[in-house]
Each structure stands twice: as C-alpha cells, then as structure tokens.
Amino acid sequence: MVKKSVSLQNNESVLAKVANVLRQFENQDLFLLQEYQHLAENYKKLLNEVELLELQQTVQEIKEEKVRAAEEFLQTVEKRLAQFLEAVPVGVFVVDKYGVPYYANQKSQQILGRGIIQSSSIIELPEVYQAYLAGTTQLYPPERQPIVQALQGHRTSVDDMEIHQPNKIIPIEVWGTPVFDESGQITYAIAAFRDITNRKQIEKDRIQFTQELQALNNAYARFVPRQFLNLLNKKSIIEVQLGDQTEQEMTVLFSDMRDFTSISETMRPLEVFDFINHYLGQMEPIIFDHHGVVDKYIGDAIMAVFPISADNAVSCAITMLKTLTVYNQLLKNANLPEVSVGIGLNTGTMILGTIGGQSHMDGTVVSDAVNLASRVEKLTKIYSTPLLITEHTHRNLKASLQYHIRAIDLVKVKGKSEIVTIYEVYDADPAEVITLKDQTYKNFEEGFMLYHSAEFADAQRLFEKVLQIYNNDKVAQIYLHRCQNILRPTIPQMTKILIVDDMSIDVKILSYILTTNQFEVLTALDGASALSIVESQTPHLILLDVMMPYMNGFEVCRQLKMQSHTKDIPVIFISASTEKEDKIAGFKAGAVDYIMKPFHREEVLARIRIHLDNYYLRQQLIDKYGYIMKEGDYCQI
C-alpha cells in the first residue's frame, strides 16, 4: 500500500522553531508576540487536523485492503466448497432465505434430471422436479418437504419421495438442514439427497424373503403347531429331533363325529373332504382360543391337549358344542346333513414328543390318560350325551361350581385296577334341558349312589321320579332299564337242588317237597358222593346236613367254596343241632342260611326261593354287566 505525502514539514521541527522565535520576542514588542503566539496556536490546530485526515485515510485504505482480502478468501472458500460439493456422492440443493433456488451440485442435477430453475418458488419444486410420494401418482406434499421444513428451522428427513424422470423412477432419501447467520437468522436451507434404488430393492427383497420365510413357517406350523414346539422348549422346527419329549400333566380332548359313515355315503369324495374341512375349520379356532394344541386330526375326529388347565379344556368343549348348534342351523339351511359329536376329556401325566423314523416322524401325546379319554368319548354314544369327563379332570377344575355336572357311571379300564367315575357336563344343552336336569339333580345323584351300592329297588324308584319330571333324560332311562332287568331275574325252567344227608327219611321228605314244586332233585348220602355229583351235574342250590359220617357238612361246604366253579353255589345247612356255635361255623364255612330240624315245608321253600333269587340275580349281573358291585368288581371299557 503506497501512502500519500503531506506538504507540511515535520511537526516536531516546526514547533521547535516556533518556540525559539517566541523566546526572541520575549523582551520585545508585546503585540507582535501575541500575534505570533496566535499564529503558533493556529498552526498546531492545523497540524492536528492534518494528522486526523491522514489517520482517516490510512484506516480507509486498511479497510479496503481487508475487504479485498476477504473477497479473495471467500472466493477461494466458495471454490473449494463447490469442489467439495461436486465431489460428494449425494445431491445437494440450496435455496436462499426466500426459498429461491441458489445452488445445485452435479449429482443433484443428475438425480433431479435438470439444474437450477431460479424462477420457481419452493412450493413449486415438486412439480418442477417431478417429485412424487413413493408408490403413488401424487406430487410430494410441499409442507412435508425437508427443505421447506429447514426454512422453518427444522432438521428433518424422509425416504418416501420419488423422482419421476421420463424413462425411470428414482427413489430418494432427503435430509433438510437450515443455515443460520451470526444473529441466528436463517440465510439458507440445504437439502441433501441420494438415490436409494439399491437400498429399496434390498429392502423389497428382504421383505419378500421374510414373507416367504413366514409363509414357510406358517406351513410348518400347520403340521407342527408352535405351541407343540413351545412345550418341547424348541424355537424352531429345525431344532426338533426324533425322540424329543417332555412329561407334564395335561388334559386331553377327544372329539368324534357321530354317524359320519352314513353322512359320507351320500357325498362324493371331494364333497366329503370339503364337509370335514369346513367342520374342522369351525372347531380349530375354538381350541386355540382356549390355549389348546391340536395333536392330530383322525378323519373327522380331533385329538387336542390343554397344558395349562383342565378348565380350559372343559370350557373349550362346551364352546365347541354351542358353536356346533349354530353351525347345524347353517347346514340345515343349506340342505346339508347336521352334525353331532361326542367329546371325552381326561387329565393326567402325559408324555408329549416325537415318534417315527429318521425319514418321517410325527408329534404326539402318549399315556394311559390318553387311552382313557378315548374310551370315555366312546361312552358318549351309550349315554346319549355329548360331553363326558373323568374324575381326574373334575378334580382338577378350579371353578367346578360354575359348570353343570353330574356323575353318571363308574368304569374300569381293561388291564387296570383303578375304578374311575365318569361325569356328564351338560352346559351346552338347551336352556330348558339344563333347568330340568338341575331340578332332578338330587334324585338322580341319590339314585346313582344307590345303584352302585346294589340297592336296585330304591334306585329304581328315584330314577322313576327323575323321569316323571324330565321323561327324556337318556341317562336316567338307561339306569331305570338296568334296575328293571336286574330286579326281574330269569329263572331256569327246571332248577336243580342237591340234597346231602345220611338220614334217608329226611332225603325222601325233602325230595317230595321239592319235586312237587317243580324242582329237579339230586341226592347224596355222604359228603364224598356230594362232591362227586357236583363235578358232573352242577346244582343251583345245595341242602346240606351237618352231622354225617367220614366228612361232616362244614368240611364239604369249605371244599365247595374252594373251587372256582362251585364257590358261587348257595349252600343251606339243614341240621338237628341247635347249638349257636354250629350255626356260626356253618356261616364261616360259606353257607347262606341255616335251617333247624324238624323243618317246615313252607319255611324250606321260602328260604330256597329267596336264595335262588339272589343266586340268579348275582349270575345275571355277571352275565350282563361283568361285575358284582358288592365285591368291588366293575365293568370294563
């Protein structure tokens, strides 16, 4: 920088000369001295003004120099910034504080398909650059544009914008950022964006793969339910190995369609499949809703387990039956056969796991408890009731009082010694039927207990009372019929009675009494002969004397009771002994009665008939039902 020269001399030299002149005038003319002093002061003022002017000129020159330097620096920075923005792999678009396009780098022009259009406003940018909402034909809403948000002081980003060029569509991700000056005012807004075509394609492929994987998992789940995997503590079907198993208490449900063979015979094979699948489609969601797991479909039958609680299983069965009532109305309206089912439930320890071979395996539940549930379901046909549960399930109900339940039978599984009580759950019956069963509950329950205590006559009277109130109670009808059959014994046309006595006169008298009353008579004069006759001609009753030679009556009776084929023949002692000890010994030996001599005709006949009735009743129970309740033997299922 070159400074301009000043015409005045050096300030210090001039002032020194002024001081020297003033000393010369010190003793001379006062007026001239004053004038000279005044002239010196003016000179000083003039010097000060010249210095100030010179200083101002210097400051101005410095400012101009700094401005020029700043402009040169700014140009350098702008050049470098432009080089940087052109080098970045993203598009950069800048608008000023008024929203007027200010700058766009080469990448942005490539993506947008055109450069800066300065005549456009920020609201017109979507239309100018054909920016659309992704996947639509709707221009991108101006208020959602990140660059508009940036002018309002917000930093935002979006990835749902597309640029529609003539021959392609480019999905982009956009970030908007405001630029502030020293005073905090927005001067510019910058939008940075990039082509995310590859990312969108990867995302699309990922979604498609996820959907395909989900579909595959869902397909596997149709064969191996997720609940099954959870019970095995497996995260995926891939982890399942042959032999994987877990043991826990669960409730198993068996449901089977009644008379399905008859229904299927009226349909073509395809119609049968459609009919079954439509029915199963009604039942399956109910099982899932009650936290059950479908173990398998066996044609029209369903086997499901409930690992959480017995209440879930019972509630599920009731809901299935209620849903079936509504479903049957739809079938009826469509002129299709209606469906009835039987459901059996049992609770116990079961093993859930995988069985099969290396090339094919299946998940299932196995245990005696499963077997019992299957057999209980079959009992629903006998008792004409749709839902039966065992005492094990009944005992595990947490809210048994909320259900309508009554005991209907005692059963014994083949090969097992346990006697199991079976209960009917009738919550799914029509409301009027539930009311009638509730009204007769006390009589039914008492009749049930009497029947299974072999008090058949009293049980019969109670079941008759039940049917007087609700004459269509199928279970009460069954028990009444049983009581009637038991109390109406079938006596053979000719009953054989063996008379064993060493007194021939007594044998003749007894023979006459019996033969004149249509009994067939066999006779023996001693114990050995009696045992021999019994082996060849089994009598229905034996009249046995006590005091006989070689083998007394007590010993004969004991030997008869030791043989399986003769132990049930009723033995009545006829003796002249009146000793109490002999009577006790006779009963201990196995006799059913004791008649003292001399005997009376009517007494002998009455006692014979009573014990024959009891004998036939006993045999009838064994022949018809397989059990003698007083001995604790029960029918088997």
Q: From CA 566, how far away is CA 562, in angstroms rounded?
A: 8
- Band of residue 634 on the pLDDT scale cut at 50, 70, 90: very low
How high does pLDDT run on average in the chain?
Answer: 83
One domain, residues 131 and 82:
no
Q: How far apart are the first and last CA of the chain?
A: 122
Examine residue 399 and state whether it is found in any structural domain, yes or no. yes
Q: Average pLDDT in the 219-237 region?
A: 63
One domain, residues 35 and 130:
no
pLDDT for residue 464 is more than 50: yes
CATH number at residue 573: 3.40.50.2300
Q: How many residues does the structure list for the chain?
A: 637
pLDDT at 1: 45
Domain that holds residue 109: 89-201
Domain count, the chain: 5
- Summarised one tens digit per residue, pLDDT across range 10-20 is 555 655 655 56
Cα dihedral: 287, 288, 290, 293 (round 10): 70
One domain, residues 519 and 566:
yes
One domain, residues 501 and 456:
no
33 exposed, middle or buried (CB, 10 Å; 0-12, 13-18, 19+)? middle
- Residue ending a domain, among 470, 488, 506, is 488
pLDDT at 82: 63
pLDDT for residue 128 is more than 50: yes
One domain, residues 507 and 477:
no
- Summarised one tens digit per residue, pLDDT across range 386-433 is 999 999 999 999 988 899 999 999 887 666 667 899 999 999 999 999
One domain, residues 339 and 402:
yes
One domain, residues 82 and 125:
no
pLDDT at 632: 38
Examine residue 136 and state whether it is found in any structural domain, yes or no. yes
One domain, residues 35 and 178:
no
Q: From CA 522, how far away is CA 507, in angstroms rounded?
A: 10
- Residue ending a domain, among 87, 113, 141, is 87
**Which of the residue ranges 4-13, 194-203, 458-467, 505-514 would you say has the lowest mean pLDDT?**
4-13
One domain, residues 512 and 369:
no
Examine residue 106 and state whether it is found in any structural domain, yes or no. yes
Q: What is the pTM of this model?
A: 0.54
One domain, residues 591 and 455:
no
Examine residue 637 and state whether it is found in any structural domain, yes or no. no
- Summarised one tens digit per residue, pLDDT across range 164-198 is 999 999 999 999 999 998 899 999 999 999 999 99
- Residue ending a domain, among 393, 428, 463, is 428
Examine residue 214 and state whether it is found in any structural domain, yes or no. no
Examine residue 239 and state whether it is found in any structural domain, yes or no. no
Q: From CA 443, how far away is CA 462, in angstroms rounded?
A: 6
CATH number at residue 110: 3.30.450.20
One domain, residues 377 and 455:
no
CATH number at residue 373: 3.30.70.1230
Examine residue 314 and state whether it is found in any structural domain, yes or no. yes
Examine residue 380 and state whether it is found in any structural domain, yes or no. yes
| 37 contacts: CB under 8 Å, gap ≥ 6 | 22
pLDDT at 80: 67
215 exposed, middle or buried (CB, 10 Å; 0-12, 13-18, 19+)? exposed
- Summarised one tens digit per residue, pLDDT across range 494-552 is 889 999 999 999 999 999 999 999 899 999 999 999 999 998 888 999 999 999 988 99
Q: Average pLDDT in the 213-227 region?
A: 66
* Cα 70–chain centre separation: 76
One domain, residues 256 and 376:
yes
Q: By C-alpha distance, which of 458, 221, 534 is closest to 363?
A: 221
